[in-house]
Amino acid sequence: MRSLKSAILLILLALLPALAQELPKPVGESDPVEGDAMLVLSPDGLAAGHGLISSRLRDLARYGLLYTPSWNAAAREHVVSQEYLRKIQTGGRPDICRKGAFGVRMDGSFRGDKPVSNSYQWDAVFADGDFYKSGGRGQGLYVSPSKGLAIVWFSTVMATDLTHYARVIAKTSTGGN
C-alpha cells in the first residue's frame, strides 16, 4: 500500500457493491432537487473519499425526509425501505460506539441525551429511532422518522449547540408533513 488514502479507497471500492444493494435505485432518480450536489475534489481531480459534499439546505432536508413517512413531500416514489431504516436504527454496535472517542463526542453534542450507537454513516442513533449525521465544521442533518421530520443546518464552527437544539426540536415536535 502506498498510502493511507490508497487503503481507504480500496476499502470504499470493496464496500460499494454492498452499499448499492441497500437502496433500490439512486436516490436522486426520484428526488426533485433544486440544485446539483457538489463533490469536493483534490487538486488532482480525485473525489475526496471522506465525504466532502455540498448541497443546498433544502435539498439536504429533502434527503432527510426520504427516511421518514413524509417521504412523499420530497420524492415521487418511496426509495428507503423499512428494512433499511430498521438497520440504521438497530444495526449499530453500542459497545463499540460507547468506548470510542467519537461516541464520547456525540454524548457531549446532545447535552446528556446520549445516542445509543452510530450506524451506516449516521453518527448518532437514539433509542427512540432518531438519527443524526454531522458535517464539516458543525453542519448537520437530524432525522426523526417517527415524527416525519428532517432538521438541517449550516455552520462554520465545530463547537455549536445546533445539534442539541435539533434534538430538542424533534423531541418536542408533534410531527411533520
Nearest-CA neighbor of 88 among 57, 44, 48, 132?
132
Output the pLDDT for position 126: 95
pLDDT of residue 106: 77
Q: How far apart are CA 166 and CA 139, in angstroms?
A: 11
Note the pLDDT of residue 5.
52
pLDDT-based confidence at residue 83 (cuts at 50, 70, 90):
very high
pLDDT band at residue 98 under the 50/70/90 scheme? confident
pTM: 0.74
Domains of the chain (ranges; CATH) run: 4-172 (3.40.710.10)
CB 162 within 8 A of CB 136: no
**pLDDT at residue 177, as a whole number:** 52
CA distance 91 to 171: 22
Mean pLDDT of 35-39: 66
User: In the predicted model, is pLDDT for residue 132 greater than 90?
Assistant: yes
pLDDT at 136: 76
- Sheet bearing 140-144, strands edge to edge: 117-119, 122-125, 131-134, 140-144, 149-153
Element (DSSP H or E) covering residue 146 = none
Q: Per-residue pLDDT averaged across 127-142, rounded?
A: 90
**pLDDT tens digit sequence for 157-171:** 878 889 999 999 999
Look over the chain and give the mean of its residue pLDDT values, rounded to a whole number. 80
Q: What is the structure's pLDDT at 24?
A: 47
Strand partners, 64: none
> Taking 60 as the threshold, does the pLDDT of residue 138 lie above it?
yes
Is the predicted pLDDT of residue 121 greater than 90, yes or no? Answer: no
